[in-house]
């Protein structure tokens, strides 16, 4: 039986519990290949069974002491030495003189004193001796004692409600989102994935849009069978209609969205079949060609949809070019060097040029992960692999193969699966995937027995939507 405890009992959540209502999360004790192929839909490309790759260190490393993440931190670099956790920042002692005491000292490097005052935080205990000027505490010769109320003239009438502005959950030292100026929600989501990696596996379910019941067909099925909902909802820009809205609605229900894109080869149209057409990638990346113009049309449309999601304050687990090192999609047909050019081009356009700072970048290998296809740690937040082998085995060899590429610290996801991996076996074998994502329609309803689905979702190792903390 799963046991719920207040999130404030978990150290990594104590930081954001200051300014938000008490969230509830799962606390459960946790210990510690198979056939792979392309996803279903069209021609199934079976791969040879993969021998278990040499396992990395058998135990997960202890996370480093968390530090607050500054706005100017870059991916996978150490934090500047002058950045200190909030409790270590100097406070101004009372009676030291008005000139010193009335220079604002923000509680951390993320939000300014003006913002903290505008959100009504001046009365919080952790704001004592902080932001004295913005909080209206300045008087001749010193400051007034902390007040439970913010002076009326310091709160603009259209101030953002405190609950609408997320505090930032600290990430492990040396870890930062690869997205420039990542949103607080992205930082919280990535910090959550790091904190839970090796301890819990998040449940995920891919949606379809053509079955009875529409896009909720699989979600409703999981709920009917298990009495709960998956933590992560999988969506696809193969069809744009409703994806942004469903992503926002899922976030508002407390869930996490994972979007992939069956991108039709430039000049070949849209849809699954078009995504398998061959195209000259040199021409795709050459301005002035028809292939380049077609590619940019697709990228711009996708960026527009992701901007709607960004403007709603919603983060996305973004998995473009999935099954990248297979030879069935156009982006994988010309080898690793051309793929890496595509990945980095997309990253620059979405994250830099369009300012889409709501993306967690997920690299999705096939069941045969290959380091030659790795774009670099500056471009990847989470890596993963997939398998449609008809087994409940958690694919330890595939899991270790990804870790041999990206290291033991970065979360590794089972980004697509047919039969759901056994939670008990995953825990016992150490195949501690960050999440699984069961494919839609028959892969959920026919390949997985209802009892197996119930067993996985009821396991303490697996997190469902109702067990997620607020990441807002």
Helix (H, G, I), strand (E, B) or coil at 260: strand
Q: Tokens standing for 280?
A: 């000259």
User: Of the listed 207, 305, 416, 447, which one is catalytic?
Assistant: 416
Q: How far from each other are the two terminal CA atoms of the chain, in whole angstroms?
A: 28
User: Of the listed 323, 334, 392, 447, which one is catalytic?
Assistant: 323
Query: How far is it, in rounded angstroms, from Cα 386 to Cα 77?
Result: 29
**Which has the closest alpha carbon to 384: 418, 411, 347, 352?**
411
3-state secondary structure 116-160: HHHCCCCCCHHHCCCCCCCCCCEECCEECCCCCCCCHHHCCCCCC
Kindly compute the dihedral angle of the four CA atoms of residues 70, 72, 77, 82, in this order, to the nearest 10 degrees.
-60
- Residue 323 falls in the annotated catalytic set: yes
CA distances in angstroms from 147 to 120, 125, 407, listed in the order given: 11, 10, 48
Helix (H, G, I), strand (E, B) or coil at 376: coil
Query: How far is it, in rounded angstroms, from Cα 170 to Cα 22?
Result: 18
Q: The dihedral of CA 176, 178, 184, 187: what is its sign? A: negative
Count of CB atoms within 10 A of residue 59's CB?
A: 10
Beta bridge partners of 3: none
Q: Tokens standing for 358?
A: 């709501």
Q: Are strands 24-26 and 4-6 parallel, antiparallel or unpaired?
A: antiparallel
- Residue 101 falls in the annotated catalytic set: no
Kindly compute the dihedral angle of the four CA atoms of residues 244, 248, 254, 256, in this order, to the nearest 10 degrees.
30
CA distances in angstroms from 258 to 8, 89, 380, 435, listed in the order given: 27, 37, 15, 11
Contact by Cβ (8 Å): 362, 382: yes
**Which has the closest alpha carbon to 420: 206, 125, 118, 104?**
206
Enzyme catalytic residues: 323, 416
């Amino acid at each position: 039986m799963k046991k719920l405890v207040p999130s404030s009992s978990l150290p990594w959540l104590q930081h954001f519990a200051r300014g938000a209502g008490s969230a509830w999360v799962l606390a459960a004790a946790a210990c510690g290949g198979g056939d792979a192929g392309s996803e279903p839909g069209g021609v199934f490309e079976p791969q040879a069974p993969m021998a278990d790759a040499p396992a990395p260190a058998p135990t997960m490393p202890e996370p480093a002491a968390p530090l607050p993440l500054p706005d100017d931190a870059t991916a996978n670099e150490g934090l500047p030495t002058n950045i200190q956790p909030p409790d270590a920042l100097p406070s101004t002692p009372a009676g030291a003189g008005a000139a010193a005491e009335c220079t604002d000292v923000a509680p951390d490097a993320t939000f300014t004193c003006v913002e903290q005052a505008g959100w009504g935080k001046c009365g919080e205990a952790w704001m004592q001796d902080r932001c004295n000027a913005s909080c209206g505490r300045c008087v001749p010769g010193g400051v007034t004692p902390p007040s439970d109320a913010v002076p009326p003239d310091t709160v603009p009438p259209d101030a953002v409600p405190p609950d609408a502005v997320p505090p930032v959950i600290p990430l492990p030292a040396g870890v930062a989102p690869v997205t420039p100026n990542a949103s607080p929600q992205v930082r919280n989501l990535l910090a959550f994935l790091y904190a839970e990696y090796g301890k819990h596996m998040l449940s995920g379910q891919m949606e379809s849009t053509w079955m009875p019941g529409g896009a909720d067909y699989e979600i409703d099925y999981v709920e009917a069978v298990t009495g709960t909902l998956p933590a992560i909802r999988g969506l696809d820009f193969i069809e744009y209609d409703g994806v942004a809205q469903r992503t926002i609605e899922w976030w508002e229900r407390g869930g996490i969205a994972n979007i992939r894109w069956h991108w039709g080869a430039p000049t070949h149209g849209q849809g699954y079949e078009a995504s398998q057409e061959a195209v000259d990638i040199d021409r795709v990346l050459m301005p002035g060609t028809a292939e380049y113009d077609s590619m940019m049309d697709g990228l711009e449309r996708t960026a527009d949809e992701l901007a709607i999601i960004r403007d709603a304050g919603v983060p996305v687990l973004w998995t473009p070019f999935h099954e990248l090192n297979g030879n069935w999609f156009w982006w994988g047909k010309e080898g690793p060097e051309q793929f890496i050019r595509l990945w980095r081009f997309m990253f620059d356009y979405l994250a830099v040029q369009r300012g889409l700072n709501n993306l967690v970048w997920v690299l999705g290998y096939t069941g045969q992960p290959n380091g030659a296809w790795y774009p670099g740690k500056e471009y990847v937040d989470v890596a993963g692999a997939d398998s449609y082998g008809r087994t409940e085995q958690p694919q330890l060899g595939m899991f270790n193969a990804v870790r041999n590429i990206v290291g033991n610290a970065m979360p590794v996801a089972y980004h697509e699966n047919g039969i759901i991996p056994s939670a008990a076996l995953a825990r016992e074998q150490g195949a501690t995937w960050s999440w699984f994502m069961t494919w839609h329609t028959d892969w959920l309803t026919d390949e997985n027995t209802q009892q197996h689905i119930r067993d996985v979702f009821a396991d303490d190792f697996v997190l469902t939507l109702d067990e997620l903390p607020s990441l807002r």
